[in-house]
Amino acid sequence: MFEGMTGVDRSLRGAAALVGVADDVSPTGELERTGRELEVAMVLAALDDAGLDLGDVDGVCHAESAMGLAEYLGIAPTFTDSTMTGGSSYEVHLEHAAAAIASGLCNVVISVYASTPRSDRRRQRQVPRRGLAGPNPMVEWEWPFGLRMPMGPYALAASRHMYEFGTTSEQLAQIAVSTRDWAALNPRARYQTPITVDDVLASPLQSSPLHLLDCCLVTDGAGAFVMTSAEMARSLRKPPVYVLGAGTCHDHLMITQMPDLTTTPGAVSGSRAFEAAGITPGDVDVLMGYDSFTITALLHLEDLGFCAKGEGGAFVEDGKLGPGGSLPMNTNGGGLSFTHPGMYGMFLIVEAVRQLRGEAEARQVDRPEIAVAHGSGVVLSCMSTAVLGTEATL
């Protein structure tokens, strides 16, 4: 498994581990708690999962302000990371935390996310809005044309993929169907009733060629993870989930600037992460691939090398992504059916950890050893890939 590749530094391999995870999601799509209260609950739950407490934490990651969170928690970390790359922020946090732990900057790192767009809407809760002030090329060169955000850019990518490779709406729909089949095994999933390809095609067209059921949910949700050194991890409550490799790349912010609408920067982040881990796609037992839209997941399969560029449609047609299939993907039901509070990347990591620990209950894959969490941020803009493994993979 670990032969024949060169060029990427592998010193991170197995140096750090995920030791605690938590999430809060409800089939109603709404949560009672919100904001900092929800974040703090997730941090404490993830620390408890690890058998650690706040006093052990010396590294903080938060996609808006690690400083604000640390102040609220009353801790003074020596490692701070407020990286915001949209939905892939938490894979980037994981990568940075692994490097920081390996180099001795810190020993115990937390990352947390909470967002409640669904109940905010119902309760008319005032949410601080990030302003449009300042030079933003997107406002000048894209928004005047009625581009629907974020769906429009994904629709354009799907349009081009169909044109270049003959990908069909039926093939995209199969991804939603397989993902829903996983959600049917998850009592916390927002949608648990199985659907068919015809159901997807019969759902209203939004930004063509995407139908309503090609699109992720809008729900409340929250989660957190805790990481520490491999050495410390072995003394904690749960079996460590080791970081075997990680990689990140972004090649545009706005869709007009994407170099190739059918190839994401995941082709770079994925190959770097796989090479650092010393694995090939065939070694992956379970894949968590950010599914903001069905086309998003299809592009991941190609760019990570599970199939050749352009062959994603044919690859997914037989349902191999679903329960019992050869490449279990998004076993919690994904952004399409489980939860999608906005930046879904946290849930990729939480589910990967639970699968590798054997904690995934009815949706548990048979003794997986290697899981991949592949985050996608903004509009196919920033991809970040984490290869995770059990003790047996070291």
Q: Which of 73, 100, 147, 299 binds another protein (CB under 8 A)?
A: 147
What residues have CB less than 8 Å from 60, skipping those under 6 apart? Answer: 66, 69, 70, 73, 75, 77, 79, 80, 81, 109, 110, 111
The residues in 244-263 that bind another protein, with binding defined as CB under 8 A, are: 253-257, 261
- Residue 157 or 356: the one with the smaller Cβ distance to another protein is 157
Q: Which of 4, 7, 204, 282 binds another protein (CB under 8 A)?
A: 204
Q: Which of 7, 133, 326, 366 binds another protein (CB under 8 A)?
A: 133
Q: Is 62 helix (H, G, I), strand (E, B) or coil?
A: coil
Window contacting another protein (CB under 8 A); options: 83-91, 100-108, 300-308, 310-318 = 83-91
Q: How many CB atoms lie within 10 A of CB 66?
A: 22
Instruction: Tell me if 163 contacts another protein by CB under 8 A.
Output: yes
Instruction: Tell me if 66 contacts another protein by CB under 8 A.
Output: no
Instruction: Tell me if 125 contacts another protein by CB under 8 A.
Output: no
Window contacting another protein (CB under 8 A); options: 20-28, 214-222, 303-311, 359-367 = 214-222
Instruction: Tell me if 77 contacts another protein by CB under 8 A.
Output: no
The residues in 32-61 that bind another protein, with binding defined as CB under 8 A, are: none
What residues have CB less than 8 Å from 142, skipping those under 6 apart? Answer: 254, 255, 256
Instruction: Tell me if 202 contacts another protein by CB under 8 A.
Output: no
Instruction: Tell me if 201 contacts another protein by CB under 8 A.
Output: no
Length in residues, the chain: 394
Window contacting another protein (CB under 8 A); options: 97-105, 121-129, 270-278, 347-355 = 121-129
Q: How far is the CB of 162 from another protein (least distance, A)?
A: 9
- Residue 76 or 149: the one with the smaller Cβ distance to another protein is 149
The residues in 364-393 that bind another protein, with binding defined as CB under 8 A, are: 377-379, 381
CA 328/CA 159 separation, integer angstroms: 26
In angstroms, how far is CA 282 from the centroid of its own chain? Answer: 20
Q: Which of 111, 207, 228, 264 binds another protein (CB under 8 A)?
A: 207
Q: Which of 65, 159, 280, 364 binds another protein (CB under 8 A)?
A: 159
Contact 221, 339 (CB under 8 A): yes
Provide Rg for the chain, Cα atoms. 20
Window contacting another protein (CB under 8 A); options: 134-142, 265-273, 308-316, 358-366 = 134-142
Instruction: Tell me if 126 contacts another protein by CB under 8 A.
Output: no
- Sign for the CA dihedral angle at 177, 23, 13, 89 comes to positive
Strand order in the sheet with 16-24: 79-81, 59-61, 108-115, 221-229, 16-24, 241-250, 382-389, 370-377, 286-289
CA 121/CA 147 separation, integer angstroms: 23
- Residue 11 or 208: the one with the smaller Cβ distance to another protein is 208
CA 306/CA 269 separation, integer angstroms: 14
B/e letters for 117-132, b = 16+ CB within 10 Å, e = fewer, are bbbbeeeeeeeeeeee
- Residue 242 or 338: the one with the smaller Cβ distance to another protein is 338
Window contacting another protein (CB under 8 A); options: 34-42, 237-245, 277-285, 335-343 = 335-343
- Residue 152 or 240: the one with the smaller Cβ distance to another protein is 152
Instruction: Tell me if 146 contacts another protein by CB under 8 A.
Output: yes
CA 168/CA 161 separation, integer angstroms: 9
- What is the pairing mode between strands 59-61 and 221-229? unpaired
Residue type, 352: A
Residue ranges in contact with another protein by CB under 8 A: 63, 84-87, 89, 115, 117, 121, 127, 129-152, 155-160, 163, 204-210, 212, 215-218, 253-257, 261, 292-293, 335, 340-343, 377-379, 381
